[in-house]
Amino acid sequence: MIGKFIRAVSFKRAWEPIEGLLAKAPQNIWIRIEVIHSVQRKRRAQLERILHEMTRMNYWRQGVSFDADFKTALLEMEINGHEFFKPGKGHVVGKGRSESWIDYQQVTKYLRRRNGQLSFDIESSEYVWLFTTSGIFSDGEQIWVLNDT
């Protein structure tokens, strides 16, 4: 199982299905669990300005959701790993603003593959939700607490 998202109104309600999934999982697999602990709503245009002004491209340190229900939530690792935020054509590493932009076509393709059909066009959403997470990782033998992101 890859990228299972569980949304609930409380940690306790979210943990119940996680326990069931973990009970069925082989003991020697890698598992990562992330919990959202802060959320900030911004206009999508604000996010685009922030990205444009960044000095380091592909170094985004937050998750982003294009909907309030977090059905389109992308973790920081997904954003950076899939290079959803692209630098401007003239960007030189270490020299000025990155002029980064969101590759909406690539994000949409990924979300459709991950979630199935999207119910709206993420590029037309007025707001985005930026979030930070805390997490744990297990390789089947040891559990590590991950740094807050």
Considering 1-10, 15-24, 67-76, 93-102, the range whose residues carry the highest mean pLDDT is 67-76
pLDDT at 114 over 80: yes
Domain boundaries, the chain: 35-134
Tell me the pTM: 0.84
Alpha-carbon distance of 57 to 86, in angstroms, equals 7
Q: What's the rounded Cα separation, in Å, for the pair 125 and 60?
A: 20
**pLDDT at 24 (0 to 100):** 87
Instruction: Measure the CA–CA gap between 107 and 95, rounded to whole angstroms.
Output: 27
Reading the block at residue 42, the tokens are 């911004």
pLDDT digits (tens, 9 = 90+) for 115-139: 888 889 999 999 999 999 998 888 8
**pLDDT tens figures, 23-65:** 888 888 888 889 898 999 999 999 999 999 888 766 789 999 9
Buried b / exposed e across 97-107, counting CB within 10 Å, b at 16+? bbbbebeeeeb
